[in-house]
Amino acid sequence: MEKRTLCARRLRAFAEHLRREERAETTVEKYLRDAEAFAVWQRCGAVTKDSVLAWREALLETGLSPVTVNAKLSALHSLLQFLGWEDCRVKYLKIQRRTFRESARELSRQEFGRLLETARHQGRERLELLMETICATGIRVSEVRHITVEAAKRGMAEVRMKGKIRVILLPQKLCRKLLKYAGRQKTAAGEIFLTGSGKGLSRKQIWKEMKSLCEKAGVEPSKVFPHNLRHLFASLFYRASRDIVKLADVLGHSSIETTRIYLISTGKEHARWLDRLGLIR
């Protein structure tokens, strides 16, 4: 029987498998990163259920949250299934459904405004418009590349991922700003948000540029990252429409449960609701 060890050959085959399944490149990179982390931790040892259990405990001991640990296990489980080693899979950590979100990670509309104002004062037009685009449409940072000159002219962008096509409507005011910016950059077609060398912006670069605004804007760094703009969009959209099914469609979620996570209130807001009950004399 062939020894169950994780080598470069098997990891490469796993990556090819994920791409054949039309997984997003960010997903492929994340799964490979987690699988490689397990392989390094294993130190070329044999993969067994006991070793996976030990890795799960080791991750918890480093201070990672149960959600993060489960996400890493999900990546490893996908690899184990691909290799036919399903008997090595372990149970996910049980997590109680949260009723509120930490205020330290909740970006308010006012704080978003300060981030935009700071970018404007620093003359960072691309960053300001990029944040407006993500927050006004609810797109994922990986979908920014679909914001093209053609999309701005049509008033809608088409996102093709995992065999699905999702149409993202672009507000008219945003389209005008996108086309004006593209004109100043002499971008006649294709992606609008590009680096100086003409390449698309990476997730890491967008994250880094947003973080650089925190101090001047007076916003906690824990609140400033691209995905939080999507959360802010979801919150404001739901307050305006009260239609979670429509919101799920707009965000591109296949499950309402995923959308529900975006609508969890902050701890402070939850506490205010409890106070309104008037049950304490």
The 10 Å CB-count burial string (b at 16+, else e) for 110-135 is ebbebbbebbeeeebebbbbbbbbbb
Catalytic site includes residue 140: yes
Q: How far apart are CA 259 and CA 255, in angstroms?
A: 7
Q: Which of 160, 227, 268, 272 is catalytic?
A: 227
- Burial of residue 91 (CB within 10 Å: 0-12, 13-18, 19+) is exposed
Catalytic site includes residue 211: no
Q: How far apart are CA 66 and CA 260, in angstroms?
A: 19
Say if residues 201 and 144 touch (Cβ distance below 8 Å).
yes
Is residue 157 classed as helix, strand or coil in its secondary structure? strand
Q: Which of 31, 101, 177, 262 is catalytic?
A: 262
Catalytic site includes residue 262: yes
How many CB atoms are located within 10 Å of the residue 20 CB? 8
Q: Which of 77, 140, 223, 231 is catalytic?
A: 140
From residue 208, alpha-carbon distances to 5, 202, 211, 221, 243 in Å are 36, 10, 5, 11, 34
Catalytic site includes residue 230: yes
Q: How far apart are CA 192 and CA 198, in angstroms?
A: 10
Catalytic site includes residue 31: no
Question: Which positions ≥6 away from 109 have C-beta within 8 Å?
Answer: 232, 236
Element (H, E) at 158: strand 156-161
Q: Which of 164, 176, 180, 208 is catalytic?
A: 164
Catalytic site includes residue 227: yes
Q: Which residues are catalytic?
A: 140, 164, 227, 230, 253, 262
